[in-house]
């Protein structure tokens, strides 16, 4: 993924001019354009989004908006890939800054997953169902589609795991160990029946016996944003704010999720705050842009982030308004920049896995 440097005129432009020109470009492109904004994007981007959502909701929107010629995805690369796979052939998906990746998605690549799969086939045999979290590259989704697996999101992970256990005896879950562990545990699978696969070792760093006993094989990957939350932060919030409700994302560690009052996807977190009674107090364990926005939108409730130091997703943050303007002004001139296009052979298997994700709730 290569991002060409922005022309100096865009880098030097004032905020006011950038905003004005984004508005003008958007108006000129009209219904040819739809801008999707992930909840973790900064406010300066979100204000231009036609729709905002988590990766699951935005992928549904991308699949449903067949009328727009251009889908400008203000999120990270794997989301734009999924939007490309789910959108019509005539639509073009654009990521304003190609360097907006995801450190979690980078923790599993196709070579590592194939090596793991072959090793497990030799040690355990058949009956393993591969499940990849939405936060992964398209070729891992393709791998799952071609090997009887599916994609899951943090919204439908329990249903997808239930479905997977109806297809086979074991699940290989990648790349986020925490979502896999938290979801498996909630389904009643004890921790002893979940083993971590470390891709840096040919045998996953696990004994053949432990692999054979495991029902869920958890890839050793994590989200650098959500892994920062700690039980001590929850204890501190409870000590300082009597009656505070702790609400975290399932990408947080097992201990943090167990210590919380509620856990769920980004959309769940938003709904929970939205429906909370006035005067209630919330300590939230997720990305700071979203938490700050919730605090601003629901002033009748006390909403703050559990992490006292700022924890934005640094790659989401790379979608700066200057990049959005640059991409839109190019479109206005009929020039498509930063198109994310998944090769047809990879898109075919990935579509199978993504359609399972969309069908299973
Ligand atoms: S918040 Fe975590 S999982 Fe989401 S894009 Fe950022 S690094 Fe990736």
Average of pLDDT values for 56-66?
81
Q: Is the CB of 103 under 6 A from ligand 1?
A: yes
- What is the DSSP annotation of 85-113? HHS-TT-EEE-S-TT---TTGGG--HHHH
Q: Is the CB of 315 under 6 A from ligand 1?
A: yes
**What is the chain's alpha carbon radius of gyration, rounded to the nearest angstrom?**
21
Portion of the chain with pLDDT greater than 70, in percent: 99
Q: Is the CB of 147 under 6 A from ligand 1?
A: no
The pLDDT of residue 28: 98
- Banded model confidence at residue 66, pLDDT cuts 50, 70, 90: confident
The pLDDT of residue 206: 97
The pLDDT of residue 309: 81
Instruction: Calculate ∠ Cα 131-132-136, nearest 5°.
Output: 170
Report helix, strand or coil for 135. Answer: coil
Average of pLDDT values for 331-342?
97
The pLDDT of residue 149: 98
Q: Whose CA is nearest to atom 5 of ligand 1?
A: 102
- Banded model confidence at residue 57, pLDDT cuts 50, 70, 90: confident
Q: How many CA atoms lie within 13 A of 182 on its CB side?
A: 26
The pLDDT of residue 76: 97
Q: Which of 316, 317, 318, 319 to mutate to test the pocket of ligand 1 (most atoms within 8 A of CB)?
A: 316
Residue 225 CA to ligand 1 center (angstroms) comes to: 7
- Banded model confidence at residue 55, pLDDT cuts 50, 70, 90: confident
Q: How many CB atoms lie within 10 A of CB 289?
A: 22
Residue that the structure tokens 């990957």 belong to: 221
Q: What is the pTM of this model?
A: 0.95
- Banded model confidence at residue 21, pLDDT cuts 50, 70, 90: very high
Q: How many CA atoms lie within 13 A of 191 on its CB side?
A: 6
Is the pLDDT at 253 greater than 90? The verdict is yes
Tens digit of each residue's pLDDT (9 = 90 or more) over 37-49:
999 999 999 999 9
The pLDDT of residue 300: 98
What order of strands is seen across the sheet that includes strand 170-174? Answer: 150-152, 128-133, 170-174, 216-219, 194-197
Tens digit of each residue's pLDDT (9 = 90 or more) over 192-248:
999 999 999 999 999 999 999 999 999 999 999 999 999 999 999 999 999 999 999
Q: Which of 100, 102, 221, 266 to mutate to test the pocket of ligand 1 (most atoms within 8 A of CB)?
A: 102
How far from 243 is each of 124, 261, 282, CA to CA, in Å? 48, 11, 9
Q: Whose CA is nearest to atom 1 of ligand 1?
A: 313
Tens digit of each residue's pLDDT (9 = 90 or more) over 270-318:
999 999 999 999 999 999 999 999 999 999 999 999 997 866 899 999 9
Portion of the chain with pLDDT greater than 90, in percent: 93
The pLDDT of residue 312: 83
CB burial readout 231-262, b (16+ within 10 A) else e:
eebbeebbeeeeebbbbbbbbbbeebbebbee
Tens digit of each residue's pLDDT (9 = 90 or more) over 71-112:
999 999 999 999 999 999 999 999 999 999 999 999 999 999
Q: Whose CA is nearest to atom 3 of ligand 1?
A: 223
Q: Is the CB of 102 under 6 A from ligand 1?
A: yes
The pLDDT of residue 318: 96
Q: Which atom of ligand 1 is nearest to the CA of 76?
A: 5
């Amino acid at each position: 993924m290569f991002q060409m440097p922005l022309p100096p005129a865009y880098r030097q432009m004032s905020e006011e001019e950038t905003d004005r020109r984004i508005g003008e470009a958007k108006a000129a492109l009209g219904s040819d354009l739809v801008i999707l904004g992930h909840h973790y994007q900064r406010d300066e981007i979100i204000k231009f989004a036609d729709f905002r959502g988590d990766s699951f909701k935005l992928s549904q929107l991308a699949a449903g908006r067949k009328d727009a010629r251009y889908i400008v995805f203000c999120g990270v690369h794997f989301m734009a890939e999924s939007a490309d796979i789910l959108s019509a052939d005539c639509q073009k998906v654009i990521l304003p800054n190609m360097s907006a990746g995801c450190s979690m998605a980078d923790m599993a690549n196709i070579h590592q997953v194939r090596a793991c799969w072959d090793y497990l086939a030799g040690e355990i045999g058949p009956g393993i169902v591969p499940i990849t979290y939405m936060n992964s590259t398209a070729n891992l989704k393709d791998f799952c589609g071609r090997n009887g697996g599916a994609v899951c999101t943090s919204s439908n992970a329990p249903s997808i795991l239930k479905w997977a256990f109806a297809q086979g005896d074991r699940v290989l879950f990648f790349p986020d160990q925490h979502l896999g562990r938290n979801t498996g545990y909630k389904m009643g699978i004890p921790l002893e029946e979940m083993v971590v696969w470390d891709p840096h070792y040919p045998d996953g760093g696990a004994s053949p016996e432990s692999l054979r006993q495991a029902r869920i094989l958890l890839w050793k990957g994590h989200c650098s944003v959500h892994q920062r939350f700690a039980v001590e932060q929850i204890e501190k919030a409870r000590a300082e704010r009597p009656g505070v409700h702790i609400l975290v994302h399932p990408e947080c560690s097992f201990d943090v999720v167990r210590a919380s009052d509620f856990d769920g996807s980004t959309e769940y977190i938003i709904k929970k705050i939205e429906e909370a009674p006035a005067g209630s107090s919330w300590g939230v364990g997720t990305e700071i842009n979203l938490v700050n926005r919730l605090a601003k939108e629901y002033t009748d409730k006390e909403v703050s982030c559990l992490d006292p130091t700022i924890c934005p997703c640094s790659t989401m943050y790379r979608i700066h308004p200057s990049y959005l303007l640059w991409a839109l002004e190019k479109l206005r001139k009929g020039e498509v920049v930063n198109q994310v296009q998944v090769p047809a052979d990879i898109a075919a298997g990935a579509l199978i896995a993504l359609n399972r994700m969309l069908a299973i709730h």
